[in-house]
Amino acid sequence: MKTNANAIIIALAVIIAAYLFSNAFQNRNQSADTISVTGLGKKDFVSDLIVWSGSFSKKSMILKDAYAALDSDREKIKSYLLSKGIQSSEIVFSAVNFNKDFDFVYNENGSTKQQIFTGFNLTQTVTVQSKDVNKIEDISRQSSELINSGVEFYSNPPEYYYTKLAELKIKMIAEATKDARVRAKSIAKNAGAGLGSLKKSDMGVFQITGQNSSEDFSYGGSFNTISKNKTANITVKLVYQVD
């Protein structure tokens, strides 16, 4: 009896192993009868929104005097920007940030011996956001005029954006998909086969870089803000069944 039972178990094991091997072989053949291609969508465009900011500061031993001096500079900056044709709705001043500054006197062993209060340092930021990219770009280059008027103004490089990215992305996905299908058809034709149904699709990350730049693509997607003229790239990977 024991011998018969062992024989039955062995027979069942052989049948199951044969089935699993056959199924794996069949799936391998199905996988081999596919074409995997990657299509590219690429578009050059010009930014239609600019954000430019700068900061200014005043320092005084008396907090009230520092605020008064900063307020005077803020009015000078606002008048300057308005005189350049910037709309008041495009100008935003941040809250005032202030710090107490100290000078430190150290012992021979390097530890602090004394700290001396040197005044209140107040800083504020102004930001301009506009769709008139070229005008704001020119003004940012002329901002040294504020320094000549006595304002301690530090200008930041402008940042450039595009307000129609969603529409652009949809068009580029369609372009990348079309490019991938053309590639798949070409491969199938040269192999003497027909292109079957789409089995799988994967979209790559959206990359925005400066035009004619050497920027590297990022694994999580890049978003250039320092260039007015940009290039957008997106990839789509498609897997087709081969007939």
Residuewise pLDDT in 10s, the chain (243 residues): 545 545 554 544 444 444 444 444 444 444 568 899 999 999 999 999 999 999 999 999 999 999 999 999 999 999 999 999 999 999 999 999 989 999 888 887 877 778 889 999 999 999 999 999 999 999 999 998 998 888 999 999 999 999 999 999 999 999 999 999 999 999 989 988 889 999 999 999 899 999 988 887 777 788 999 999 999 999 999 999 988
Query: 146: Cβ–Cβ under 8 A, 6 or more apart, which residues?
Result: 76, 77, 80, 153
**How far apart are alpha carbons 56 and 156 in whole angstroms?**
11
Q: Which residue spans within the chain are E strands per DSSP?
A: 34-46, 49-60, 91-93, 97-106, 112-130, 153-155, 159-161, 195-203, 207-210, 229-242
The structure's pTM equals 0.78
